[in-house]
Amino acid sequence: MASLDLTVSSVELTRNICDIPSVSGDERVLADAIHEAISALPHLEVYRDGDTIVARTNLGRAQRVVIAGHIDTVPINENLPTRDFEVDGVPVIWGRGTVDMKAGTAVQLKLAAELAAPRVDITWMWYDHEEVDADLNGLTRLARTRPDLFQGDFAILGEPSNGAVEGGCNGNLRAIVRTHGVRAHSARAWVGDNAIHKAAPVLARLAEYRPREVPVEGLVYREGLNAVRIRGGVAGNVIPDLCEVEVNYRFAPSRSLDEAERHVRDVFDGFDVEVVDGAAGARPGLDAPLAQEFLAAVAAEPRPKYGWTDVARFSALGVPAVNYGPGDPSLAHHDEERVPIAQIEAVERGLRSWLAGS
């Protein structure tokens, strides 16, 4: 089995854990290595559930912070092992997982090993299956079996945020808009009713749609409504009786999931709409005292998070949560995924200065 040395730098640790492939569903080797390394630390109480590892300090501090990072990645596309090079003079580590989000996880592992007496109690969580269906997510499983582990006054997800603090996140809804017709031989189209032609106004409404920009607690969330898939047709000589347009609505955290669903139904009024999947967003939660303290310590301007992340899970449990991690989120899942080395070091410094206290 692979093993991890937590005494190396967080930059070297980033290379090491990226070079242990852990595409969703195949996290076992990396989880075992983390479990082994963390279990050797006497100041942490360790709990494991599947490929999710939880490690806690129990110092009797007045406050507790949860710091979490997922250990899985999207599929590798000839972008492992990692390589070091420079982009416009900036040294980077290139490869799958460097941005989303093993650099963030490496910083957390490094600090978990070294901060034996932080100024707040810390619950570290490293979890599996974040990049796939929410049902499979290690935190979904853990929230069911050990909800007590989520207790805290503040939570930080190490998702890539370019070293800035990204508050809250947009909600996420997927729906299928269907048009119906009647099949017929395409040589006698007038006998049938073409379902694909009927989808013209669905696509026109999407093309004309102007997404909102919504201020929530001082941060501006940018929405989006997009077709992500379309399919229809039976054979090359058959008038199709069904066309399905799958739409993805990303909505500001000021809107509930129900309101988001109503909005999508309004946009496609007159059409058959089925909502297939949805998750509410999370308000920034930056007015919490610990959040204010954290912002001051890391000296970062808060920004909105556009993508849905597990901060919404903590938010729903009443724990204010932010994203704070190295890497450009626009490069997440990208074949040219790469993280600036300086950002890894900056995030480590930021977290360390706040957690180590005076």
Binding site for a second copy (CB under 8 A): 74-75, 100, 131-133, 170, 172, 174, 183-191, 194, 196-200, 203-204, 206-207, 211, 222, 224, 226-240, 243, 245-246, 248, 250, 277, 306-308, 329-330, 332-335
Distance CA 264, CA 257 (A): 11
Question: By C-beta, is 9 or 248 nearer to a second copy?
Answer: 248
Question: By C-beta, is 27 or 153 nearer to a second copy?
Answer: 27
Q: How many CB atoms lie within 10 A of CB 229?
A: 11
Tokens representing residue 264 in the block: 């999508």
Contacts of 69 (CB under 8 A, 6+ apart): 101, 104, 105, 108, 125, 126, 127, 157, 158, 159, 325
Q: How far is the CB of 151 from a second copy (least distance, A)?
A: 28
Q: How far is the CB of 332 from a second copy (least distance, A)?
A: 4
Question: By C-beta, is 117 or 189 nearer to a second copy?
Answer: 189
- Single out the catalytic residue among 32, 51, 100, 130: 130
Q: How far is the CB of 163 from a second copy (least distance, A)?
A: 17
Contacts of 217 (CB under 8 A, 6+ apart): 167, 168, 283, 284, 285, 286, 287
Contact 330, 99 (CB under 8 A): no
Residue of 57, 4, 284 lying closest to 169 (CA atoms): 284
Question: By C-beta, is 32 or 131 nearer to a second copy?
Answer: 131
- Single out the catalytic residue among 27, 51, 72, 337: 72
Q: Give first-to-last CA distance, the chain, whole Å.
A: 39
Q: How far is the CB of 306 from a second copy (least distance, A)?
A: 5
Q: How far is the CB of 201 from a second copy (least distance, A)?
A: 8
Q: How far is the CB of 73 from a second copy (least distance, A)?
A: 11
Residue 135 bears catalytic tag: no
Distance CA 3, CA 109 (A): 13
Contacts of 274 (CB under 8 A, 6+ apart): 175, 176, 178
Residue 86 bears catalytic tag: no
Q: Distances from the Cα of 247 to the Cαs of 16, 21, 66, 275, in angstroms?
A: 38, 32, 34, 9
Q: How far is the CB of 161 from a second copy (least distance, A)?
A: 12
Distance CA 205, CA 217 (A): 30
Contact 101, 62 (CB under 8 A): no
Distance CA 153, CA 31 (A): 27
φ, ψ of residue 174 to 5 degrees: the values are -120, 135
Question: By C-beta, is 61 or 198 nearer to a second copy?
Answer: 198
Question: By C-beta, is 43 or 303 nearer to a second copy?
Answer: 303
Question: By C-beta, is 16 or 194 nearer to a second copy?
Answer: 194
Residues classed as catalytic: 72, 130
